[in-house]
Structure formats: C-alpha cells, structure tokens
Structure 1
Amino acid sequence: MIELDRLTKRYGEKTAVDQLSFQVRAGVVTGFLGPNGAGKSTTMRMMLGLDRPTGGDVRIDGRHYAQLRSPLHEIGAVLEARSVHPGRKAYQHLLCMAQSNGIPRRRVDEVLDQVGLGSVAHKRPKGFSLGMGQRLGIAGALLGDPRILMFDEPVNGLDPEGIQWIRNLMRQLAQEGRTVFVSSHLMSEMALTAEHLVVIGQGRLLADTSMARFIEENSRSFVRLRSPEVERLREVLDSAGYRPRAAKDGALEVEDAPSDRLGELAASHGLVLHELSPQQASLEEAFMRLTASSVDYHGHTRPTSPDGGPGAPAPQWGAGWSGGRTGAESEGA
C-alpha cells in the first residue's frame, strides 16, 4: 500500500502539492488524474524520494522509499521513459539495474521479451522510437517483479497494439494482487483501465472514489425518448410528475427516472417509442466538470469575423501566464 498523509510541496510562494492525503490499495488499478499543473508528477516524485516534501509524509508499506533495502523488488516505476543513457544498449541498461539490486541476469531477457523488445535487446536506445523507449522503461519497472508499480503516462508513444498490451498488463498485475498506480491525460484509456480514481487540482484532493461513483457524482444522467407522437408523450410524462426537456433533434430527455419505468409508462398509454436509451456522461465529461475551477492554463480559440474569416485579436493565455514557467509551474502532469 502507498499512503500519503498531508503531503505538501512548496517552491517559494508556489504550493505544488497541498495537504494531500490518500491511500493506493492493492488489487485494483488506481488512476491518478488532474489538469496540467495539478501536482501529479511532483506527487509521484515525492513517493519515490526524488523530491523532498515540504510537509507531511508518504510511505511505501509503512516505510519511506529510502528505507527500502531492495527498491526494485518493492516498487517499479516509469516517470520518464527516455531517462536512459543513449550509448548503452538496452540489455546493458537493464543489466546494470539488475546487478545493482541483486536481480539475476536471466530476468533481463524475460522482461525484454515481455515488453516486445527481445529482437532489439542489443541496440542502443538513441535510435528507439518514443514507443520503444516507453517499452524499455516499462521493462525496467518490471525487472524486480515488484509488488507495487507506478506509471506516468504509460501509453505515451505506443501504437494501438502497444496501448492494448499495456492496458491488459496493468489489469493482469492488479489481478495478481499488486498495487498499480497510473497517471494519464488520456481519459478514454483511464475509463477502460482504472477501477478507482484519485483526482487532484491545484495540488489538492478533489476525489478519491471508484470509477463508477466518480462518473455518477460528477455528471448528468438522463433517458432519451423519441416517439412519432412526441407531444402526447410529453403530456403523459408531465402527468406522471416528470419534467421532460426537448433535445435539438426532437427527442425528449428525462432526468432522475429509470428507463424501464418510462418504457412501461409509454406502453400503458399505447405510445410507440423509436428510442428509449439511458445516457451517462463519459469520464472525460465528468472530469472536466469537477476540475473546471482548478485549471491553471486555459487555451482560447480565435473568434471569427462575420464573414467567417479571422478578424479578432490573438487568443489570450490563461491568467498568470508570463511567457515562461518556474520549476514548479512547469509541472506538466
């Protein structure tokens, strides 16, 4: 288990992580979400002892990372996949990691095959694509067969086959009872992979809940109904105490009502329905709704002139943008 207790990190007057407390449990894939600048990368660096907290504490199974005698056996992490000596061959890179942690040489071949790099094991990473570099970073995380794994943007640079592979790998690791903690900006992938979510904004905890509950609590759910007798359907719904709202395509939308009840109501009045479909917001929509007030950097599209061409002032950057960022503000995750 990973435990954070009021974890705080300040850079001068900038607070990157603010009194952050949560637990990452074993047996599930936990997604770590937040807008740019939310403090995700800083938090993960403090978990691994790469940054010193200003306040609070973070422990791996009750110990600080520096207290782990064989860290690669305890926790494997990918924070920056391209952090590899470009002149050292992929096999040599992993062999150095293995020898420094008492891991047998045969494990190097095993993880290279596992991530699909067996055929380029003796090539230098400077010629690797972004996706191949990502696979090499994942191989390093798996090297010690750890009980805890942390991935920061693990699908970055991967092709569709690679994305499906890492998705299935994370699920498999969690099913084996391991702790899997993954940060990503790709909401579609998080929706397919994570079972639990930790969401932060401006360094503060916004949500710590299951995927299903997060979407339910931060989105609008409703039922769409289409009928050739839409006005009569509206009257029936009104008389039953519902408040249907007209959609642009002529359908009716009803909130806070189960679809089966609405279907039975229409059938009891002899109404034909061409559509009866429950609608639920996506993870992306729920995330945008929750974090709307926590986004530091807002982009703006250029308005068009009446004739459809450009004719408005250049877009303005979000509040506080000054053409560059400090070390804390460049927190990209």
Structure 2
Amino acid sequence: MIELSELTKRYGGKTAVEGLTFAVRPGVVTGFLGPNGAGKSTTMRMILGLDRPTSGDVRIDGKRYDQLPEPLTYIGALLEARSVHPGRTAYHHLLCLAQSNGVPERRIGEVLDLVGLSGVARKRPKGFSLGMGQRLGIASALLGDPKILMFDEPVNGLDPEGIHWIRNLMKQLASDGRTVFVSSHLMSEMALTADHLVVIGQGRLLADTSMARFIEENSRPYVQVRSPDPERLRVSLAGAGLRPVPQPDGGFEVEGVPAARVGEIAAANGLVLHELSRRQASLEEAFMRLTHGSVEYQAREG
C-alpha cells in the first residue's frame, strides 16, 4: 500500500503539490489523473524519494522509501524509460539493478521473457525504439517481484499489441493482490484499465473514488432519440413537459427522464423511432468536466 498524508511540495514561491492525502490499495488498478502541471510527476517522485516533500509524509508499506533495505523488492517503478546507461546491454542494465537490490540473477531472464525482450538482451538500449525502451523500463520495475508497482505513461510508444499486453499485465498484477498505481493522459486506455481513480488539479486532490462513481458524479446521463418525423417527435416530447435538445443528426437529447418514458411518449403519439438509447459520459468527458477549472496550460481554439 502507498499512503500519502498532507503531502506538500513547493519550489520557491510555486506550490506543485498541496496537502495530498490518499491511499493506493492492493488488489485494484488505481489510475492517477490530472491535467498537465497538476503535480502528478512530482507526487510520484516524492513517493520514490527522488524529491523531498516540503511537508507531509508518504509511506510504502508503512515505511519511507529511504527506509527500505532493498527497495526494488518493495516497489517497482517506471518513470523515465530512457534512464538507462547507453553503454550497457539490456541484460547488464538489469544485472546492475539486481545486484544492488539482492535480486537473484535468474530473475533477469524471467522479466526479459515476460516483456518480450529476450531476443535483444545482449543489445544496447540506445538503439531501441521507444516501445522497446518502455518494455525495458517495465522489466526494471518488475525485476524485484515487488508487491507495489507504479507506472507513469506506460503505453508510450507501444504498438496495439503492446498496449493490450501492458493493460492485461496491470490487471493481472492487481488480481494477484499487488498495488498498481498508473498515470496516463490516454483516457480511453485508462477507462479500460483502472478500477479506482485519484484525480488532482493544481496540486490538490479533486477525486478519490471508483471509476464508475467518478463518471456518474461528473457527467450528465441523457436519452438519445431519433425518428424519421423529428418535428412531431419534438412536439410530442415538449407536450409531455420534456425539453428535447436538437442534435446535428436530426435526433434529440433528453435529460431527466428514463429511456422507457421517452419510448412510451413516442408510442402514444404513433411515432416510429430509429434510435432510443440511454447515454453516459465517457471518462474523458467526466474528467474534462471536473478539471476544467484546474487546467494550467490551455490552448485556445482557432
């Protein structure tokens, strides 16, 4: 488990993280979301002892990172996949990590095989593609067979097969009872992977909840309805006290009523329907709705 308590980090007069308190629990994949500049990378660096908090505390299974005797056996992390000595082969990069953390050498072959890099184990990573570099970074995180794993943008550079692989790997690690903490800007991928979400904006906690509840609380469910006689449909819905909102395809969005009620109104007025469906916002839409006031770097539409 990762536990943050009132974690704060300031750089001069700028506050990057302010009063963060949350726990990342085992058995689920926890997604870590926030706009650019929200403080996600700073938070992850403080978890790993790479940045010292201005105040507050962060614990890994009850200990600070610098108190862990062989840290890779407690927590494995992918923050910068390219953080590899260019003169070492993939195998020797992992060997150095293994020897410094009391990890048996046989584990190197296991993780290289797991991430699909056995065939390039004796090659230098400076010639690796971005996707291969990501796989080596994931191998490094898994090397100590830790109970806690932390990944920052793990699908960067991966092809569709690789994205499918890492998604299933994270789910499997969580189902094994491990703690999995993953940050990504790819909302569609996060929606398929995470069970729980921690969302921050401008360094502050905005949400700490399940995926389903996050979408429910930060979206507006509505009914999508479409008929070959849109004007009659509009009049019928309005006559029943509803407020149909016209859509570009000729259909209507109707809020505040179940789909069954819309269908009953149409049937009572002898209307043929080509579409009647309940819609829910996507994770991306819910995220944008929650964080719109916390975006530090925002481009203007042309």
Q: TM-score, structure 1 length as denominator?
A: 0.87
Q: Deviation of residue 153 (structure 1)?
A: 0.6
Instruction: State the AA in 2 paired with 1:120.
Output: V
Report the equivalent of 1:26. 26
Report the equivalent of 1:246. 246
Instruction: State the AA in 1 paired with 2:263.
Output: G
Of the structure 1 ranges 221-230 and 106-115, higher mean CA displacement relative to structure 2 is found in 221-230
1:141-170: CA deviation from partner (whole Å, max 9, x where unpaired): 001111110000101111111111111100
Runs (5+) with no aligned partner, structure 1: 304-333
Q: Secondary structure at the match of 1:59?
A: strand
User: What does 1:12-161 correspond to in 2, within 5 Å?
Assistant: 12-161=12-161
Instruction: State the AA in 2 paired with 1:30.
Output: T
Of the structure 1 ranges 278-287 and 27-36, higher mean CA displacement relative to structure 2 is found in 278-287
Q: Secondary structure at the match of 1:277?
A: strand
Q: Secondary structure at the match of 1:108?
A: helix
* 2:212 pairs with 1:208: no
Report the equivalent of 1:187. 187
Q: Deviation of residue 269 (structure 1)?
A: 3.8
Instruction: State the AA in 2 paired with 1:249.
Output: D
Distance, in Å, in 2 between the alignment partners of 1:276 and 1:82 is 49
Instruction: State the AA in 1 paired with 2:54.
Output: T
Instruction: State the AA in 2 paired with 1:143.
Output: L
Of the structure 1 ranges 145-154 and 291-300, higher mean CA displacement relative to structure 2 is found in 291-300
Report the equivalent of 1:306. none
Instruction: State the AA in 2 paired with 1:107.
Output: R
Report the equivalent of 2:272. 272
Instruction: State the AA in 1 paired with 2:295.
Output: V
Distance, in Å, in 1 between the alignment partners of 2:75 and 2:248 is 52
Q: Secondary structure at the match of 1:112?
A: helix
Q: Deviation of residue 189 (structure 1)?
A: 0.9
Q: Deviation of residue 216 (structure 1)?
A: 1.7
Distance, in Å, in 2 between the alignment partners of 1:24 and 1:127 is 36
Of the structure 1 ranges 273-282 and 160-169, higher mean CA displacement relative to structure 2 is found in 273-282
Task: Provide the alpha-carbon RMSD of the alignment.
Answer: 1.4
1:214-242: CA deviation from partner (whole Å, max 9, x where unpaired): 12222222111111333333343334332
Q: Secondary structure at the match of 2:248?
A: coil
Q: Deviation of residue 300 (structure 1)?
A: 3.0
Q: Deviation of residue 284 (structure 1)?
A: 1.4
Distance, in Å, in 2 between the alignment partners of 1:246 and 1:121 is 58
Report the equivalent of 1:284. 284
Distance, in Å, in 2 between the alignment partners of 1:5 and 1:234 is 53
Runs (5+) with no aligned partner, structure 2: none
Query: What percent identity do the matched residue pairs reach?
Result: 76
1:67-125: CA deviation from partner (whole Å, max 9, x where unpaired): 11221111110111110101011101111111111111111000000000000001111
Distance, in Å, in 2 between the alignment partners of 1:56 and 1:198 is 18
Distance, in Å, in 1 between the alignment partners of 2:164 and 2:86 is 27
Report the equivalent of 2:258. 258
Distance, in Å, in 1 between the alignment partners of 2:155 and 2:242 is 44
Q: Deviation of residue 279 (structure 1)?
A: 1.9
In the comparison of the two structures, how many residue pairs are matched? Answer: 302
Q: Deviation of residue 260 (structure 1)?
A: 2.6
Distance, in Å, in 1 between the alignment partners of 2:297 and 2:234 is 43
Instruction: State the AA in 1 paired with 2:298.
Output: H
Instruction: State the AA in 2 paired with 1:101.
Output: N
Distance, in Å, in 1 between the alignment partners of 2:149 and 2:264 is 49
Distance, in Å, in 1 between the alignment partners of 2:173 and 2:278 is 33
Q: Deviation of residue 265 (structure 1)?
A: 3.5
Report the equivalent of 1:316. none
Instruction: State the AA in 1 paired with 2:185.
Output: H
